A and B are shown apart, each in its own frame.
Chain A
Amino acid sequence: MRRDRVLITALALRRSKPEQSEFVSIPNPAILALDHVSRRLAGREVVHDLNLNVSRGEVLGLLGVNGAGKTTTLRMIAGVLAPSTGAVRLDGANLYEQPERARRCIGYLPETPPLHQELSTEEFLAFCARLHGVARKAVVAAVARTLERCELGEVRRRPIAALSKGFRQRVGLAQAIVHEPELIVLDEPASGLDPVQAMKLRELVRGFGQDHAVILSTHVLPDVSACCDRVAILHRGELRYSGPATPNVANTLRVGVARTTGANDWESLPMVASAEAIDGIHWRVHLRPGVSIEAFAVAVVERGLGLLELRLDTAPLESTFLAIATADAPAQAA
């Protein structure tokens, strides 16, 4: 029997955290709750009747095309912008009635990091810590801890203007966490970074998610898969989808084969429920419940299809996102 080279990538299975499927099943109490929030800007309703919860220890990915209302939503969560109607509640209290609480409990990184470039990293972070209510005596320790966490020690005394884009982005992140907020709000944190920097940033965000609530706005789907526990997709200011960032993909495979096949060839295999072509050589194959991937791989090899690639398919999120982005009808929540 000819042995094909088999590549199995099971990134999604390496996720250590349990999936959180819906708001009702969130294990921790929600630290942030958006309660029927709407916001009008320049006569247009940019965000409409938005309900959203985030819990401690959870990373929520906020997805949407440009103009979907992500940044406006984040600005309302960060306390920069007041909602036209509805309420943003932090631990049950209305954010706009307790701005001092927001000062201590929220860390916000806008799309463009707000950096005072003429100052050194250390000096800037000390100011941010004091601005967010860290006691004078605790500032030095808070800054040192943040510099270490964001791996900024080597540039602590360098003016921010002299730093590379990646370092500046990290300083932006550092200013958002220096006061140990309960909620961290990040707007496109990996924007403009090279792949290595983006990967490091994702690791940082993942780390923040261990003990903070994190909201991450992006339109980079791999960022969501890598960092987030849950995803909310906004479209035209409305919440169109909310569910796990990595939906149950254990039964959906992306298969590359050398020989041209049709859907019938796949469906003739007893363990396959359905199959759809992605391109000339790649197929998305849905296995029947309870079928092992190994058994499927053996069957493909025995059928002599010329197996080139076999991996778990994370495309359901992509499909959902694209379906929502290209259609106006609300998608069914997973």
Chain B
Amino acid sequence: MSATALIARHEWRRLAVQPFAWLLAAVVIALMAWQYLLALQGYLDLAPKLGGLKDAPGVTDLVAIPLLRSFGNLLVLLVPLITMRTLAGERGAQTLPLLLASGVGNLRIVLGKYFGALGFVLVLITCVALMPLALAFGTTLDLGKITAALFGLALFAAALTAIGIVASAWAAQPALAAAIALTITLLLAVVDAGARLQGIANSGINYLALPTHLEPFFRGLVASVDIVYFVLIAAVTLALAARRLDTLRSRSD
């Protein structure tokens, strides 16, 4: 097993033995289940009226996609809470020398932490995805659209996790790391708000915004430009985190 996989697995194990992760997962799943049931009830109430419409939206558009979109919004808050301890927690507990003295390179340490945290986020996405997918037993779902939305969510989570990791590498306290990650994410979410208010939706600033690249996935569109955007964010932030770890090696504390 490579050092990256070892650290990732260890990160997972550490999350699994902490009540915090379980509590977080329970709250998220309960919240999404509640939303899911509300959306399903709304659909059942609306279904008789939809029968007469041409190209009426189905259960995928009215239940599955809104639920996944809502979960995407929740990830903005959730991911910083998951990633905040990855490196800042190690610094706070003075356990970082264990990794730094192990001979494992900075990037591999960062990747280990990243994949450990991302694994947990992906499990949460899977849990939430199972809710609308369960409808397949009773109705016909647009599985292509749901797959695209899940793929987009996974990419979105990958970018947010990387932002969380770099924030955790920069901050000395987990709470500060969460705040930094949330701030960066929100900035990336609203960076084009001004342009949109003026009706500009296709300028350079729009391309910087996270929603510009996430929304097409919810419409069933998988474009390489959106994939590259999320991959680039993850790659750049993880490189910065590795660079930060290199700086931390030189610190006297």
Within 8 A of B (CB), among A171-207: 175
A118 B98 Cβ-Cβ under 8 A: no
B101 A106 Cβ-Cβ under 8 A: yes
The residue of chain A having its C-beta at the shortest distance from the C-beta of B90 within the complex is A114
Distance to closest chain B CB from A88 (angstroms): 13
For the complex, give the distance between the alpha carbons of A108 and B97 in Å.
9
A118 B14 Cβ-Cβ under 8 A: yes
Number of interface residues of A (CB under 8 A): 36
* A33 close to B (CB within 8 Å): no
Distance to closest chain A CB from B88 (angstroms): 15
B94 A99 Cβ-Cβ under 8 A: no
Number of interface residues of B (CB under 8 A): 26
* A75-83, A210-218, A249-257: which lies at the interface: A75-83
Name the A residues within 8 Å of B93 (CB-CB). 114, 117
Q: Pick from A82, A99, A116, A133: contact of B14, CB below 8 A.
A: A116
* B76-84, B102-110, B139-147: which lies at the interface: B102-110
* A131 close to B (CB within 8 Å): yes
* A46 close to B (CB within 8 Å): yes
* B193 close to A (CB within 8 Å): no
Q: Mark A66-91, 1 if CB is under 8 A from B, else 0.
A: 00000110010011111000000000
Name the B residues within 8 Å of A100 (CB-CB). 103
B103 A41 Cβ-Cβ under 8 A: no
For the complex, give the distance between the alpha carbons of A82 and B6 in Å.
25
* B225 close to A (CB within 8 Å): no
A114 B97 Cβ-Cβ under 8 A: yes
Name the A residues within 8 Å of B95 (CB-CB). 114-116
Give me the 9 closest cross-chain CB pairs, A-B, nearest first: A103-B103, A114-B98, A114-B95, A99-B103, A112-B94, A102-B103, A108-B101, A78-B101, A80-B100
Q: Which residues of B contact A (CB under 8 A)?
A: 1, 3, 6-7, 10, 13-14, 17-18, 93-105, 249-252
